[in-house]
Amino acid sequence: MRLSLPLTVALCLQLWLAVTSVGKQQRQQPAPVALTDEEEAAQPSAGELAEIEGNAGGLLESMTTGIGTEERALLAAAQKEVAEQEKEQAAQEKELEQSEAQEVEIDKEEDKPVSALIALSTNFRQLARHHRLRTAPPRTRYDIEAAKEKEERQEEAKYARQFGELMQSEDRQEAATQEKEQQQSRANRMSFRQLQRPVEGGFLRINFAEKFCLGDDILEAYGRGSASPFIDFDEAEQRCAADDRCSFFTVDRESKRTWICKGDGYLSLEPFPSAVVGVSPKELAVDRYRVVTNMQSICQGANLIEERRSTSRSTIDMEDAAKTCDNLPDCTHFTINFSGSTAMPAPHTLIQHVFFCAGDPIGAPNDSFVTAIRRATYYVPGAPGGAPQPLRPRPLPCMGVPLQLRGPVEDSRGVYKAGSIIPPDVNIVYRSKEPEPQAATEKKGKASSAN
């Protein structure tokens, strides 16, 4: 019986694989196992296995004898494929053996005590890493991201806390600065009774105004654009008071700049919302007048003698105003507003607005105003220019609700005059004690005798 070529090749391959697998199993057994007599009799011996392999090889050779070239090529390809499979299987077995050896080494390393590691290694980082690997649980990607987010939140909270503390510190400093400025402003302002005393006020404070110093007029510069740090109003006032050349200074809190200047630049100020100007008292002093800064004198009606305003081409300083008051009849004092309404045709320049008054001064605290009162030895009522003659002291009137008077006002002591607290359109009747009539005396005598 003659078999077909494909069937013959398949039978040969199956027989060859069976024989080789039996041989491998015999070689891979680690140790011989004791068998019973029956099992030992059933197992083939080495000679029998060699004979079987030889018979299989002869059978394969006899079966392949007489086949063509194509059949031999197919048989060679099949044998090559079988050899590659055997090679891959051997590589896998080798990798498995290496993996088992590594596991054994790891188990041995983990079984070592910590004291042995300390004795064998002096590197503390290696010891810490070994301890961390033994005790710390495995970290997944989620654990790593969660720890990173936690660190970021802690860092943000730290920055937020520092920023909040910084803002609170700045708020406290700003509140303290404002309180200090208010106290200084209150100290500079005079009460109504202090207005009569020969006291010159402190620095004149002109709010919402500034003046840039140019050239040689700049004595010192602080803040942005200079080497010195920014200073506020109080410290600038001290610096200006310590320098005899200083006439005024400008503090701009928005741009953080301060200028200490000389000259009469304070007479041509420019409006600016975040700046304040301080004028030295020595620039406002007049020998024959008592000067009080940051104080406005209220004079209306008959008490107001004249008003004058400066222009963009001509300014009015304290000496000019004092000379004008000297030449006005009955001028007892004047008040100047150094931040008056904007002058024309220069719309960016503040003007000086002067009020010349007569009578007793009525004061009201107000920044940017200066009140000057003529001294008693330099004033004669109704005499232009004035001559040395003392004035009779008068009581200081109060500023309150306007009086609604009907009819004449009796003044038995003659201490009031029209225009002080009495409206100018009210007649003042001066009465003195006169001897009683004779009839009234006789009537009183009869009444006493009857009693």
pLDDT for 86 equals 85
Residue ranges in the chain whose pLDDT is less than 70: 1-46, 48-68, 109-139, 184-201, 341-348, 376-451
Residues 142 and 290 placed together within one structural domain of the fold: no
CA distance 442 to 436: 11
Residues 319 and 424 placed together within one structural domain of the fold: no
Q: What is this structure's pTM?
A: 0.43
Residues 221 and 290 placed together within one structural domain of the fold: yes
CA distance 9 to 75: 7
Inter-axis angle of helices 5-28 and 69-110, nearest 10: 20
Residue 39 lies in a domain: no
Mark which of 378, 397, 420 sits at the end of a domain: 378
> In Å, what is the CA distance from 351 to each residue of 39, 162, 190, 266, 326?
132, 47, 24, 10, 22
Residues 214 and 246 placed together within one structural domain of the fold: yes
pLDDT for 5 equals 56
Sign of CA dihedral 139, 145, 148, 153: negative
Mark which of 188, 221, 249 sits at the end of a domain: 188
CA distance 190 to 404: 29
pLDDT for 43 equals 61
Cβ atoms 194, 291 nearer than 8 A: no
Q: Which residue matches tokens 């500079």?
A: 188
Tokens of 361: 């001064």
Residue 22 lies in a domain: no
Residue 124 lies in a domain: no
Q: How many domains does the chain have?
A: 3
Residue 63 lies in a domain: no
Residues 164 and 205 placed together within one structural domain of the fold: no
CA distance 353 to 207: 16
pLDDT for 152 equals 87
Tokens of 261: 């200047």
Mark which of 167, 188, 209 sits at the end of a domain: 188
pLDDT for 146 equals 84
Residues 203 and 220 placed together within one structural domain of the fold: yes
Q: Which domain holds residue 293?
A: 195-378
Residue 220 lies in a domain: yes
Residues 171 and 228 placed together within one structural domain of the fold: no
Residue 18 lies in a domain: no
Question: Which CATH number do you get for residue 323?
Answer: 3.50.4.10
CA distance 356 to 330: 10
Cβ atoms 311, 351 nearer than 8 A: yes
Residues 278 and 310 placed together within one structural domain of the fold: yes
pLDDT for 119 equals 52
pLDDT for 385 equals 45
Sign of CA dihedral 72, 74, 77, 82: negative
Residues 166 and 274 placed together within one structural domain of the fold: no
Residue 297 lies in a domain: yes
Residues 160 and 293 placed together within one structural domain of the fold: no
Q: Which residue matches tokens 């070689």?
A: 27
Q: What are 139-193's pLDDT values in tens digits?
A: 677 778 888 888 888 888 887 888 777 777 777 888 888 887 777 666 554 444 4
Residue 74 lies in a domain: no
pLDDT for 179 equals 80
